[in-house]
Amino acid sequence: MLTIKNLDVYYDKLYTLKKISLHIKKGEIITLIGSNGAGKTTLLNTISGLIKPASGNILFEGKEISNETPEKIVKLGISQVPEGRLIFKTLTVEENLLLGAYSQYSFGRKKHIMKDIDTVYSLFAKLKERRKQLAGTLSGGEQQMLAIGRALMSKPKLLLLDEPSMGLAPNIIKEVFQHIIELKKLYGLTVLLVEQNAKSALKIADRGYVLETGRVILEGSAEDLLLNRDVQRAYLGRDLDAEERI
Amino acid sequence: MIWDKEKESIQREELAQLQLERLQSTIHRVYRNVPFYRRIFDKNSIDPDSFSSLEDINKIPFTTKNDLRENYPYGLFAVPLREVVRIHTSSGTTGMPIVVGYTKNDLKIWTELVARVLTSSGITKDDVIQIAFNYGLFTGAFGFHYGAEKIGASVIPVSIENPKKQIKILQDYKTTALISTPSYALLIANTLIEMDINPNSLYLRFGLFGAEPWSERMRQEIEEKLKITALDNYGLSEIIGPGVAGECLEKKGLHIQEDHFFYEIIDPQTLEPVKEGETGELVITTLTKEAFPVLRFRTGDLTRFIPGECPCGRTFRRIDRIMGRTDDMIIIRGMKIFPSQIEAILYEIEGRQPNYQIVLERQAGVDQMTILLEMSEDIFSDVMREQTQLVNTIKDRIASEFGLSINVKLAERRSIEKVGEKIKRVIDKR
C-alpha cells in the first residue's frame, strides 16, 4: 500500500532522515520505534506532505505522493493523528468530528457525513455520550479517541498515529490500543503507529522498524523485535542484567 | 505444499523492496557493531548511508573464509556474547575453525528456513525423520532437528551410527524420511543389499541429502536402491547452516531464501558478476542475522542461477546443485579438508617436502581417500617393516586429525605424473 524508498529529509537545517526505506501492506499495523529525535515524527509528517523530502520516493497505492500537498494526500486516503492530539478544545466533540470530514465536504454530502459520524460513535461510545460537550472538557483518553475519530472522518485507507499513548494512564493506553486493533479488524484499516511506548506498540503491530539517528537499523516482525535484546534494552526499559542476576 | 506461502511466493517487486530495506539496516548494524566491517568501510571510504539500491552492494569488498578465520573466535560477532544462545563451528579448515553464534531470533529464523526446505521436499508433520548427521559442533544435525520439530514431524536423532544400526531403526521405527550426506545414504542402501533386505519393506519415502557435492547419477542410484525420492539441499555454517537453499519436488534446482539472504554469483577470477545463468562462485550476504552477520561472503562453492520460474509456485530463484569448489578443497563425507593440511602432516612425519597426490574415489557409494606418496630412495630401499610403519603412522595421524580412515600407498620416486612442473594434488574420480 505504501512503499518508501531512500527517503532523505532535511528539517530545521538538520539531516533528520537518511535513506529511509520501508513498506506497509494493506491491513498491516506497522510501528516505528526509536528514541526522541530519531526522526519518527519527521517521517510521519513527510508522508502526510507537511514536510517535503530532499530526495527519495513515497509511493501510495502505486502513485508518487512525495510532491503532493497535504490536502491532496488526505483526499488520496492518508490521515494523520498528530502528536498531542491537537483537537479544537473550544468546539464540541461533534464539531471536531465534522471538521475531520472537511476534505469530504461538498453540497449534498451531509447525509453521508452524518452516517460516518455514526460509525465513529459506534466505535467510540464515549464520544457519542459527550457529543455536545466541549472537547476541552474531555479526559486525555477521550481526547485521543476524538483525535482518532476525527482522522477517520476523512475515510482514510492509511492512518498515521503519532504517539497516541502520550500522557495517558496505563489502563487508558490499553483501551486506546484496543481501539486501534478494532480499526484493523473491523474496517481493514492500515496503520502506521509511532510510539515511544514500544512494548504496547509491538504487542499490537504486525511488523516494526527501529529508527536511530534518522536511519532504519532494524526491521522485523513485531514478535522478533520483542525478542531482540537491543530493542529490549533500549526501548522496552528492561534491565536485562538485573534480570539475569535474579 | 509451501511452508510460508506469503514469504516464499512473494511478488518479486515486493521482495526487492524488502531486500533493500534489510540490506540498508544490516549495513547500519554491521557498521556500528562489528569493528572488522567498520574498518573495511572506513578504509575504502564507503559511506554506510550511500546504499540506495541492491546493486550498490558491489561497493563492499568480499568477505573471505580467511577473514572469518582471522577473527577467531568471536571477532565478528555483532552482539555481546551473553546475547548468544548457541555456538557452532564450521568443519575445520586450515588451522582454526570458524565459530558462529546465534541469538534467539537467529535460531527462530534458522528453524523457519529449515521448515521451508523440509516442506518443499514433501515432508509433513506425519513423517518420521531419521537424522543421520553428527550431533555436535557441525550445524547439520541441529538445524534439521529443530526445523523438523517445527513442522511437527517425529524426529529420531540417531546421529552417526553404523549402517546396520541405522537400518534396524529404519525398519523398527518406521522411518519415512532420511536426512544424511548422499554418500552415507548410499552406504545404507548398499548395506541393505548386502543384508538382503527388500527396500520396499521399509516405510522410507523421502531422503534429504546435503553437506557434500553429489551428482544426478548418484541421485538415481540412491532413489533406485532405496525406492525413495531423493532431494538436494544446501547450507553452510558461516551463513546459518542447512536451510540456505533446498530443492522442491520439481527436482529442477534449489530454491534460495531471498528474504533472509542476498545471493550473488561471481567469476572467482575477475570477481565480477557472471552473466545470468552462467556458473560461478556463490556469494551470500545475510539480511536478518543478528549475532553473526556477513557481507558478501565468498562461499567457494560453484553453482549458477537457474533462469525462469518454477512451477511449484515459489517465487524465490533457484541455484543449480553445487558443482564443486573454487579452490582445491576436498569435501569428503561431509568434511572439508585442504590438501595443505595433508601436506603439513606428511611434512611433519617425513621431515621434508613431500611429493604426494590425493586420489578421491567412490567405492560402493562411500568416499575413499588415498594418499599416493613418493618415497625418497633411501627410505624405499629400507626394509618392508619400516614402510608399513610409515603407512600406519600417516593413517593414524589423519584418523586422529580428521576422524577419517584413508588409504596410503607408497610410490617410487618421480612416479607421480606431473602437469608441467607441478603434481596435480587432487584427483577427484567421484
SS (H, E, C) B195-222: CCCCHHHCCCCEEEECCCCCCHHHHHHH
Q: Are residues B162 and B239 in the same domain?
A: yes
Residue finishing a domain among A155, A172, A203: A155
Q: Are residues B75 and B198 in the same domain?
A: yes
Residues in B closer than 8 angstroms to A210, CB to CB, are 25
Q: Are residues A194 and A120 in the same domain?
A: no
Q: Distance (Å) from the C-alpha of residue A241 to the closest C-alpha of chain B?
A: 10
pLDDT at B336: 63
Q: Is residue B89 part of a domain?
A: yes
CB spacing of B103 vs A228 below 8 angstroms:
yes
User: How high is the ipTM of this complex?
Assistant: 0.85
pLDDT at B288: 96
Residues in A closer than 8 angstroms to B18, CB to CB, are 23
pLDDT at B343: 80
Is residue A218 less than 8 Å (CB to CB) from chain B? yes
Q: Are residues A20 and A71 in the same domain?
A: yes
CB spacing of B104 vs A227 below 8 angstroms:
yes
Q: Which residues fall within 8 angstroms of residue A31, CB to CB, at 6 or more apart?
A: A192, A193, A194, A195, A198, A201, A202, A205, A207, A208, A209, A222
Work out how many domains chain A is built from and give that number.
Answer: 2
What is the spatial distance between Cα A103 and Cα A152, in angstroms, rounded to a whole number?
Answer: 12
Residue finishing a domain among B327, B350, B381: B327
CB spacing of B24 vs A19 below 8 angstroms:
yes
The arrangement of strands across the sheet holding A190-195 comes to: A78-81, A158-162, A190-195, A29-33, A207-212, A215-221
CB spacing of B51 vs A3 below 8 angstroms:
no
* CA nearest to A244 within chain B: B82
Residues of chain B with pLDDT under 50: 93
Q: Is residue B332 part of a domain?
A: no
Q: Distance (Å) from the C-alpha of residue A196 to the closest C-alpha of chain B?
A: 20
Q: Are residues A174 and A69 in the same domain?
A: yes
Work out how many domains chain B is built from and give that number.
Answer: 2
Cell numbers 474531555 correspond to A138
Residues in B closer than 8 angstroms to A216, CB to CB, are 21, 24-25, 28
Give the structural domain span for A115. 87-155
Residues of chain A with pLDDT under 70: 13, 104-108, 237-246
Instruction: Check if the beta carbon of residue B146 is closer than 8 Å to that of residue B108.
Output: no
CB spacing of A23 vs B21 below 8 angstroms:
yes
Q: Could you tell me the pTM of the whole model?
A: 0.81
Q: Which among A74, A75, A79 has a CA at the least distance from the CA of A192?
A: A79
CATH number of the domain at A44, please. 3.40.50.300
Residues in A closer than 8 angstroms to B104, CB to CB, are 227
Q: Are residues B268 and B403 in the same domain?
A: no
Q: Distance (Å) from the C-alpha of residue A185 to the closest C-alpha of chain B?
A: 19
Q: Distance (Å) from the C-alpha of residue A37 to the closest C-alpha of chain B?
A: 18
Beta bridge partners of A161: A81, A193
CB spacing of A228 vs B108 below 8 angstroms:
no
Residues in B closer than 8 angstroms to A10, CB to CB, are none
pLDDT at B15: 97
* CA nearest to A230 within chain B: B79
Q: Is residue B333 part of a domain?
A: no
Residue A35, CA distances (Å) to A211, A214, A221, A232 in order: 8, 10, 19, 13
Give the structural domain span for B130. 1-327
Helices (H), chain A: 40-47, 70-76, 93-100, 110-123, 125-129, 140-152, 170-187, 198-204, 222-227, 229-235, 240-245
pLDDT at B422: 57
End-to-end CA distance of chain B: give it in Å, rounded: 34
Q: Is residue B204 part of a domain?
A: yes
Q: Is residue B230 part of a domain?
A: yes
Instruction: Check if the beta carbon of residue B249 is closer than 8 Å to that of residue B233.
Output: no
